[in-house]
Amino acid sequence: MNQDNNNEDSPMFRRLALGTLIISTLLSSACTAPGQTRDDRRQHIDRTEREVLAELYRLQPDLRGDVAAAPGYAVFSNVNVNLLLASASTGYGVAVDNRNRDRTYMKMGELGVGLGLGVKDFRALFVFDSPAVMERFVESGWSFGGHADAAAKAQDKGAAVSREVVVDGMRVYQLTESGIALQATLKGTKFWKDPELNHD
């Protein structure tokens, strides 16, 4: 056995250490919204929020009133995030408190490597049914693991049919290329507050 393989100065050890550092950096950067500065990233997230809401309101006009009447909502996306590793399905978003208009910037990512969204285009709206649900989501984070993808609950609303997923006191609307999804791709995914974007 070559003892150099166990030596911290050996070429193999240095290559392994460098590889570990690169992977860690890539995974970390994949969670970050595009932009050079914190203000850039906040502006990008705010713009994404407006675009996702506009598209959802176009597809389901009743949603506008539901969002306005709710204690709060959150919008998430991984569109335009450079997914540097195939298994790094990550993204970003913002939670908005309708009572005081406070904005909390958040991240989304996998519970484990090889699990998670597995999609390159995730855009979703979370509508919170109570202030307690929103506070728990924002302050403690939320994870959807160990379950199958959430099934849609269709509700008759006059002429329109609401395609919403109801889970843990939240209604989830996920955009796809063909419209609003009939299920939410949430398995193995967690959401948490972005410490960098929430302080000045």
What is the residue extent of each domain of the chain? Answer: 31-193
User: For 155-178, how does the pLDDT look when each residue is reduced to its tens digit (9 = 90+)?
Assistant: 444 333 456 777 888 999 988 877
The length of the chain in residues reads: 200
- Among the listed residues 30, 27, 75, the one whose alpha carbon sits nearest the alpha carbon of residue 49: 75
- Please provide the average confidence, as pLDDT, over all residues in the chain: 74
Query: Residue 184 phi/psi, 5° resolution?
Result: -105, 130
Report whether 83 contacts 89 (CB < 8 A).
Answer: yes
Tell me what pLDDT residue 72 has: 98
Mean pLDDT of 80-93: 59
DSSP state of 6: G
User: For 57-70, how does the pLDDT look when each residue is reduced to its tens digit (9 = 90+)?
Assistant: 999 999 999 999 99
Tell me what pLDDT residue 34 has: 61
Residue 34 burial class via C-beta count within 10 angstroms: exposed 0-12, middle 13-18, buried 19 and up: middle
pLDDT surpasses 90 at 24: no
- Rounded Cα–Cα distance for residues 25 and 97 (Å): 32
Strongest mean pLDDT among 28-42, 46-60, 83-97, 179-193: 46-60
User: For 112-152, how does the pLDDT look when each residue is reduced to its tens digit (9 = 90+)?
Assistant: 544 344 556 788 999 999 999 999 999 999 887 644 445 44
pLDDT surpasses 60 at 39: yes
- Rounded Cα–Cα distance for residues 180 and 171 (Å): 13
Q: With the CA atoms of 175, 177, 179 and 182 taken in that order, what torsion angle do they form, in degrees rounded to the nearest 10?
A: -70
Tell me what pLDDT residue 100 has: 94
Q: Identify the band that residue 16 occupies on the pLDDT scale cut at 50, 70 and 90.
A: low
